[in-house]
């Protein structure tokens, strides 16, 4: 088994329990997310509303980077980074999701 270095990013899957628009930020398309990682619930702030509606995101499984620390964005504590990739037409973030349902908290390997 290979030991992880302290620079490895821990990526885990979680289910979005709640999502809401976050217009108080200085970036367009921001939303607040509450994500169940299986053993804990975390918060995330992500610029996803260019391609996704809050109601659509709720219940989706998403990939999160869990060991990057937390930041405050317009007073909201974002504890994990929700992963997205640039959209083909506009380069705005599109969520990265598992192809089929998996166990919350599962680690990307």
Residue 54 tokens, joined: 């809050």
Quick: pLDDT tens for 19-74. Answer: 999 999 989 999 999 999 999 999 999 999 999 999 999 999 999 999 999 999 99
- List beta partners, residue 82: 64
Burial of 1 by CB count in 10 Å (0-12 exposed, 13-18 middle, 19+ buried)? exposed
* Domain 11-84 superfamily per CATH: Nucleic acid-binding proteins (2.40.50.140)
Place of tokens 């990013």: 9
The answer for residues whose C-beta is within 8 angstroms of residue 26's C-beta and 6 or more apart is 74
Global confidence as pTM: 0.90
CA atoms of 1 and 35, how far apart (whole Å): 30
């Amino acid at each position: 088994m290979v030991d992880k270095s302290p620079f490895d990013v821990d990526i885990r899957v979680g289910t979005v329990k709640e999502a809401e628009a976050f217009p108080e930020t200085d970036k367009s398309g921001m939303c607040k997310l509450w994500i169940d990682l299986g053993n804990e619930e975390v918060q995330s702030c992500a610029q996803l509303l260019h391609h996704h509606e809050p109601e659509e995101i709720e219940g989706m499984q998403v990939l999160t980077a869990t060991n990057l620390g937390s930041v405050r964005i317009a007073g909201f504590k974002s504890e994990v980074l929700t992963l997205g990739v640039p959209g083909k037409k506009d380069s705005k973030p599109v969520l990265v999701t598992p192809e089929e349902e998996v166990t919350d908290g599962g680690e990307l390997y």
